[in-house]
Amino acid sequence: MTEFAITARGDRVAYDLYGSGPAIIFVAGAGPFRATDPWTTETAERAAEQGVTTLVFDRLGRGESAAEGPLTLERELDAIAALLDVVGGPAVLCGHSSGCSISLKGAAAGLPVEGLALWEAPLAGDAADT
């Protein structure tokens, strides 16, 4: 059942919450959202059966998380912060594609992230330059 969190900037973020225990928040890439990505939901449900709190959400401007104006990284991080509040933070962020970049930035910005699981991160350039 869809629930909603409100970010510090007033954006409304749709999410599904499963289970209880240590938390994992799934951060999708640019294209998918809950209605078009049953695999992430199934993964979240299976992890919840193992004693983990899981949260799957629609990134801003996708699915039920309608948003107007530029979808900046700061707004995406505000959404992650609001969802960390939902799970009672800290949490592991499980990012896919551009969701990896958002997850990495959230951890670097000091959000209560206790771990990262990243798949197909869009990294480029020399690591020494970052």
Read off the pTM: 0.92
Cβ-Cβ contacts under 8 Å for 9 (sequence gap 6 or more):
75, 78
Instruction: Output the six-digit token pair for 83.
Output: 């969802």
Report how far residue 86's alpha carbon sits from residue 25's, in angstroms, rounded to the nearest whole number: 10
Q: What CATH number did the domain enclosing 45 receive?
A: 3.40.50.1820
Report how far residue 81's alpha carbon sits from residue 28's, in angstroms, rounded to the nearest whole number: 15
Domain that holds residue 102: 3-129
Domain count, the chain: 1
pLDDT greater than 60 at residue 123: yes
**pLDDT tens-digit readout, 13-57:** 999 999 999 999 999 999 999 999 999 999 999 999 999 999 999
**pLDDT tens-digit readout, 81-98:** 999 999 998 999 999 999
Catalogue the long-range contacts made by 43-49 (C-beta closer than 8 Å, 24 or more residues apart): 44/16, 44/18, 45/18, 47/18, 47/19, 48/18, 48/19, 48/20, 49/19
Of 53, 116, 108, 39, the residue nearest 85 (C-alpha): 53
